[in-house]
A = this chain, B = another copy of it.
Amino acid sequence: MDATTIRTRPGSPRPGLARPGSTRPGRATLSDVARRAGASDITVSRVVRGQGSIAAGTRKRVLGAIQALGYIPNRSASALASSSSPLVGIVLPSVANAVMAELVQGLNEGLAAGCFQSAIGISDHDPAVEERLVGSLLAWQPAALVLAGLEHSEGTRVLLRTAGVPVVEVLDIDGRGFDSVVSFSHHAAGAGSARHLLAPGYRRFGYVGHAASCDLRADKRRAGFEAVLHEADLDWLGLEVAPGPLSAGAGRAVPAQLLGRAPGLDAAYFSSDDMAVGGLFHCLAEGIGVPARLALFSFNGLDLGQAAPLPLSTIGTPRARIGQEAARLLCEAAPPQVLDLGFELIGGATA
């Protein structure tokens, strides 16, 4: 796999446009518009906000002046004056994977429809960073905050409490929520997976996860799976945890290890489809029969897994809908509530 870096043009600094210094030559203000339209500030304000009744003629003049001056309202000023803002703060551990990305997409869709604006912070799975981000976002007097998961630092809790902002926690429902919660149960997903595998007779289980300490929700799935195993007087024959971020590449090596250490395995449970696809490729390459010799079961229901040569047996999750529903709660200013959107068992062909 040779790799050549091709650089088209040298990074040529272009003189061009000077950086606009601190002295903006004065963006037009509401008063400028008012003066030009021969109206008062407040009238212009009403036109801009589409609030209160305005004579058709006045509105027309105002709109004309806005157009002519290229007036851009100043949200900081309006937020200050009205002590409220259309911003919704979103704090996620990451966006660089399909699940989070689809969640964001869903959230954004719903929020935009309600005329909210998203400000996103990425905590990189670090509760301390999350706390800092929550603080920064709260400083904008946001209309609401959306957080991933139910576990937060005490400092974050205090901030949330003193700010008194509506909060929606998403992607986890197994625990005590702060305000509203929109998710499905990871514990139940894990348990459901185990039951699905026990039914046809699988008994010798292995687990393939990814850097565990970082993903509380994967742990909850594993725990759910485990609980069902214990009920049936069974336990894992082996557990392997891939270091680094989850990826198909990582998934490829780990099943090999797992099989090496626990050769009697008849089913492997993966923390995510990405890894399971890697595992599937490995089995295909090594001639390990799937699911006859080894069953594969995973989690997420990614498009990728369903397009694989053998569609993955997995659990599909409604991450886009979680985003949409969370947004809906906020747009409708719904009272605090817990929404369990459930998950979907995808039979597939690997188990």
Q: Which residues of A contact B (CB under 8 A)?
A: 1-20, 22, 24-25, 27, 70, 72-77, 79-80, 83-85, 87, 94-98, 100-102, 104-105, 108-109, 112, 117-122, 135-141, 158-159, 162-166, 173, 179, 184-185, 188-189, 192, 247-249, 251-252, 274, 277-278, 281, 284-285, 303-304, 306-309, 311, 316, 333, 335-349
Contacts and interface: CB of A to CB of B under 8 A. Distances in A.
Nearest to A4: B345
A155 to B, nearest CB: 10
A185 B8 contact: yes
A9 B141 contact: no
Contact of A338 (B11, B24, B188): B11
Q: What's the number of copies of this chain in the assembled complex?
A: 2
A337 B11 contact: yes
A184 B5 CA distance: 11
A335 B298 CA distance: 49
Nearest to A248: B307
29 contacts: A4-B345, A6-B188, A6-B345, A7-B342, A8-B188, A8-B340, A12-B338, A13-B335, A13-B337, A15-B336, A19-B166, A20-B165, A24-B83, A27-B162, A27-B164, A70-B158, A75-B139, A76-B140, A80-B80, A95-B108, A96-B104, A96-B105, A117-B136, A247-B307, A248-B304, A248-B308, A249-B303, A249-B306, A274-B304
Contacts of A2: 345, 347
B9 A75 contact: no
Contacts of A11: 337-340
